[in-house]
Amino acid sequence: MRKLIALEQLSLDGVMQGPGGPAEDPRNGFTLGGWAMAFGDEVLGREIDKIMARKFDLLLGHYTYNIWAKYWPHETNGIAKAFNQATKYVATRGQDKLDWEKSVRLSGDVAQEVRQLKTSDGPDLHIWGSGVLMQRLMVAELIDEYRFWVCPVMLGQGKRLFEKSLPPGRFTLAESIKTSTGVLLNTYRFVGPVKPGDFA
């Protein structure tokens, strides 16, 4: 069974939009793109290196895929090498060509396709960004592990990971690392749904 691991940079108020750069995701007038870049340090760099050193495949929504496909194939650093070597499973109903090498279209029932993908042979699956897709997979209880990198900033605008009604669930904190810039690298594992009476 392949694990599905979600990796998200979040602000204190749960914003996940455009952490990497001003032009990354300006949808709906978002003007604070690049907000996570000020918090990088050696600790964060080491954790990213650990992730990139292990083999994984990628699961991406079409918007995140299109951003990444314009950037990562032209880079040569360790992150680019890992992303370019990974098989990219792209959840999209569009018919536009997927030009990035090793890209596979998922165009049916995304929850069902991901459920089948998890039972196939291969490395763990990583989902970065891709908020709409991630919310669908959270509702379907298909994500096994969440790595939330919470930055000490409130943005007050932008797409939030938890803005939709999501099913109640129980998690365990598997690891927590604090960086020198105040970012909390928290790893949560999904235990199961919360049922009526669980907290009585």
Domains of the chain and CATH, by start: 4-193 (3.40.430.10)
Q: Quickly state the pLDDT bin for 198 (edges 50, 70, 90).
A: confident
Are 90 and 103 in contact, with CB atoms under 8 Å apart?
yes
- CA triple 26-62-113, angle to 5 deg: 145
Q: How do residues 103-126 score in pLDDT, each as one tens digit?
A: 999 988 999 999 999 999 999 999
Six-digit token string for 55: 């083999």
Mean pLDDT of 34-39: 96
Overall pTM > 0.85: yes
Mean pLDDT of 64-93: 94
Q: Quickly state the pLDDT bin for 168 (edges 50, 70, 90).
A: confident
